[in-house]
């Protein structure tokens, strides 16, 4: 796939809005391909496993598959998507720390071998699986920098690693290595660097004790660029490359895996919405649109995300602080109470770029408001 293919210009979004009902999510494969190739170029020895949960769409899976990419699976539904796309199961890891036995078997039947664990009961579920599985131990890295903390629910204490490794060994199970997810939408590379350095030291210590790991999984958390305040991905990757180079030098035979979701998914989707209502209240204009926080803007609630909603047709008119609200009857359904917009009318179109991550993935049918349709633009 060529990433030099043109991205959709405004006129295309306008044409799409006119021929298709809104709300409309436009998926651009070139955006995902460009981001994936950027990851691969910046960290060539890392196998980047696309976290499907961030954008569980067949189109996104096809884009990554066609780049010979890798996948991070969390559920049986995600396995079904991969099976439909005939993805090589050897390119997949199962990263849900808590699985039912039938989930483990479902993944094994597909051909997945690598599973994340983080507590004794989960390790015990693999008793008897022997060499059919390689376990990866997820360690928590608490920090208060991430937009979404992913160590509150999962990850063993660093001090518990050795006991869990011993437990697995006593059951004739292989621990392939350590994984962590230091948190989603990290504002800097600091915690990733610390975690990689910590893993490097642990692997050196374990090597002295005769324990050799075959992989290190550095998780996700690579940032998307929602605003110019967010660290740019190239800088972020260059910074984590320093400790990774050291690790790679010390352990040249160790595979290094990552699980990026947001940085691949966010730029993949643009959302076209339409104004369906308008009123004035307390000095602000309120615009009611046909998608909201129970739909494609779910990230406002679940992901602490502020999305930029702009007129689809550029305007040079004076702009005002306005409120943009969604279509449901719930008062929480407010997308932005300080949107900067010109005076607009019912029927006008709005556009939100960079809305691919954890948006359609967590949208609901609340109030029977139809979810946005997904349209693929380009190949
Ligand atoms: C286990 C796991 N891996 C990867 C990801 C993707 O993280 P991000 O979107 O921050 O890259 C997540 C996000 O929830 C996750 O839970």
In the chain, what are the domain boundaries?
A: 56-260, 267-376
Residues of the chain with pLDDT under 50: 1-5
pLDDT of residue 39: 98
Determine the atom of ligand 1 nearest the C-alpha atom of 186: 10
Residue with token string 């990419």: 69
pLDDT of residue 301: 93
* DSSP at 139: B
Both tokens assigned to 65 = 């598959």
Determine the distance separating the centroid of ligand 1 and the alpha carbon of 258, expressed in angstroms: 10
Which residues are near ligand 1 (CB < 6 Å)? 51, 53-54, 72, 95, 150, 181, 184, 219-222, 259-262
pLDDT of residue 1: 40
pLDDT of residue 193: 96
What are the tens digits of pLDDT across the range 113-125? 999 999 999 999 9
What are the tens digits of pLDDT across the range 297-315? 999 999 888 999 999 998 8
pLDDT of residue 4: 39
Both tokens assigned to 333 = 């359904």
Residue 161 is a catalytic residue: no
Determine the distance separating the centroid of ligand 1 and the alpha carbon of 71, expressed in angstroms: 12
Both tokens assigned to 219 = 């998780």
Give backbone dihedrals phi and psi of 279, rounded to 5 degrees, phi first.
Answer: -155, 170
The CATH number of domain 56-260 is 2.60.40.10 = no
User: CB of 373 within 8 A of CB of 38?
Assistant: no
pLDDT of residue 6: 52
Determine the distance separating the centroid of ligand 1 and the alpha carbon of 244, expressed in angstroms: 19
User: For the domain 267-376, what is the CATH code?
Assistant: 2.40.37.10
* DSSP at 148: B
DSSP 170-226: HTT-EEEEEE----BS-SSSHHHHHHHHHHHHHHHHHHHTT---SEEE----PPP-S
Residue 57 CA to residue 358 CA, distance in Å, equals: 11
pLDDT of residue 2: 38
pLDDT of residue 183: 87
Both tokens assigned to 228 = 């110019």
The packing angle between helices 233-250 and 190-208, to 10°, is 10
Percent of the chain with pLDDT over 90: 87
Strands 319-325 and 334-342 come out as: antiparallel
What is the SS3 assignment for 156?
strand
Determine the atom of ligand 1 nearest the C-alpha atom of 95: 1
> Nearest 5 degrees, angle CA 89-CA 106-CA 32?
40
Residue 31 CA to residue 149 CA, distance in Å, equals: 26
């Amino acid at each position: 796939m060529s990433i030099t293919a043109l991205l959709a210009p405004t006129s295309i979004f306008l044409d799409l809005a006119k021929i298709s009902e809104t709300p409309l999510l436009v998926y651009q494969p070139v955006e995902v391909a460009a981001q994936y190739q950027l990851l691969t170029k910046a960290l060539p020895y890392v196998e980047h496993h696309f976290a499907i949960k961030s954008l569980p769409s067949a189109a996104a899976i096809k884009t990554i598959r066609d780049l010979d990419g890798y996948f991070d699976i969390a559920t049986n539904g995600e396995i079904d998507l991969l099976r439909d796309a005939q993805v090589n199961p050897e390119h997949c890891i199962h990263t849900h720390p808590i699985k039912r036995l039938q989930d483990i078997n479902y993944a094994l039947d597909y051909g997945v071998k690598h599973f994340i664990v983080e507590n004794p009961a989960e390790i015990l579920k693999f008793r008897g699986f022997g060499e059919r599985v390689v376990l990866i131990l997820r360690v928590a890295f608490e920090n208060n920098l991430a937009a979404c903390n992913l160590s509150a629910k999962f990850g063993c204490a660093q001090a518990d690693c050795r006991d869990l490794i011993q437990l697995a060994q006593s059951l004739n199970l292989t621990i392939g290595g350590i994984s962590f997810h230091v948190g989603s939408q990290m504002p800097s590379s600091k915690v990733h660097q610390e975690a990689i350095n910590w893993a490097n030291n642990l692997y050196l210590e374990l090597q002295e004790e005769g324990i050799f790991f075959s992989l290190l999984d550095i998780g996700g958390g690579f940032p998307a660029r929602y605003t110019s305040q967010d660290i740019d991905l190239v800088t972020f990757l260059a910074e984590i490359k320093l400790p990774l180079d050291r690790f790679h030098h010390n352990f040249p035979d160790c595979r290094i895996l990552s699980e990026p979701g947001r940085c691949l998914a966010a730029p993949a989707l643009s959302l076209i919405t339409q104004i369906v209502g308008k009123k004035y209240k307390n000095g602000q204009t309120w615009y009611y649109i046909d998608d909201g926080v129970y739909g494609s803007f779910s990230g406002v609630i679940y992901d602490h995300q502020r999305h930029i909603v702009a007129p689809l047709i550029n305007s040079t008119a004076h702009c005002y602080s306005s409120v943009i609200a969604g279509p449901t009857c719930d008062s929480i359904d407010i997308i932005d109470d300080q949107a900067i917009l010109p005076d607009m009318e019912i029927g006008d179109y709005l556009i939100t770029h960079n809305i691919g991550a954890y948006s359609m993935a967590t949208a609901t049918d609340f109030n029977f408001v139809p979810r946005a349709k997904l349209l693929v633009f380009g190949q």
